[in-house]
Amino acid sequence: MIYSPVTTLTNGAIIFLDRDGVLIEDNGLVLDESQLAILPGVPEALSALKERFRLVVVSNQAVVARGLLDEIQVRDLQKALEKRLTSVGAPPLDGFYFCPHHPRATLEAYRVDCDCRKPRPGLLFRAAEELSLDLTGSFMVGDRPTDILAGTRAGCRTVWVKTGQHDAALIETSETLDALPRADFVCSGLLESSRWILEQA
């Protein structure tokens, strides 16, 4: 399963959030709770956005495909992160969707040409459908061009934050990426992005 709902929701627009580099520091593979370092401004940004939007995390988690964590452990890490976020004033998140696949997975079961590994938009479509939410007026916030492409393909407006691996090489995908879309807004972090999003809304 790649779907892990946190709450049952009514209709509404969504802020899709990448995890590493947007909510927490991206210092490589996150394998245990000690590596969950919340970025500055994140609790305040989430609180502001929650007034108008549902907050859903969408994340590629190749640690599963590599055999470093299983899917349950990935969900447990997410629960630990959400507990830390609420302890510093952030609101509860509304959903967590992740892709465990990789085109060159160590574990054969996860070596899948899927629709859920960003830059493909499967996670976003699935979240909107299963949580009965509306992609109209929704936003994707990420730190990599592949996050921006996933958001664009789902029909969302996009925000590129420069708090993660924004200058890193493109992640490995099963498709050739030639021209990548420009984000609708580029900024220093989630707090600045929240102000812009609320202005657009």
User: What is the per-residue pLDDT across 182-198, written as a single tens digit (0 to 9) for each?
Assistant: 999 999 999 999 999 99
As a whole number, the mean pLDDT across the chain is: 90
Q: How far is CA 96 from CA 22, 68, 121, 126, 192, in A?
A: 14, 20, 15, 11, 23
Q: Please report which confidence band the pLDDT of residue 2 belongs to, taking 50, 70 and 90 as the band edges.
A: very low
User: Which residue has tokens 């707090």?
Assistant: 191
Q: Please report which confidence band the pLDDT of residue 1 belongs to, taking 50, 70 and 90 as the band edges.
A: very low
Compute the 3-state secondary structure of the chain and give helix, strand, coil in percent, each to the nearest 5: 30, 20, 50
Length of the chain: 201
User: What is the per-residue pLDDT across 97-144, written as a single tens digit (0 to 9) for each?
Assistant: 999 999 999 999 999 999 999 999 999 999 999 989 889 899 999 999
Give the whole-number percent of the chain exceeding pLDDT 70: 88
Q: What is the pTM of this model?
A: 0.90
**Architecture of the 3-200 domain:** 3-Layer(aba) Sandwich (3.40)
* Per-residue pLDDT at 169 exceeds 90: no
Structure tokens at 40: 């500055």
**Cα 53 to chain center, whole Å?**
15
CB 172 within 8 Å of CB 118 = no
* Per-residue pLDDT at 86 exceeds 60: yes
* Per-residue pLDDT at 61 exceeds 50: yes
Q: What is the pLDDT of residue 134?
A: 86
Provide the total of helices (H) and of strands (E) in the chain, helices listed first. 6, 7
Q: How far is CA 45 from CA 16, 37, 53, 123, in A?
A: 13, 16, 12, 22
Q: Please report which confidence band the pLDDT of residue 174 belongs to, taking 50, 70 and 90 as the band edges.
A: low
* Among 2-16, 29-43, 151-165, 175-189, the least confident range: 2-16
Q: What is the pLDDT of residue 8?
A: 41
Amino acid at 162: K
State whether the Cα torsion 110-114-118-123 is positive or negative.
Answer: negative
Amino acid at 29: L
H-type alpha helices, the chain: 42-50, 62-65, 71-87, 122-130, 145-153, 190-200
CB 65 within 8 Å of CB 105 = yes
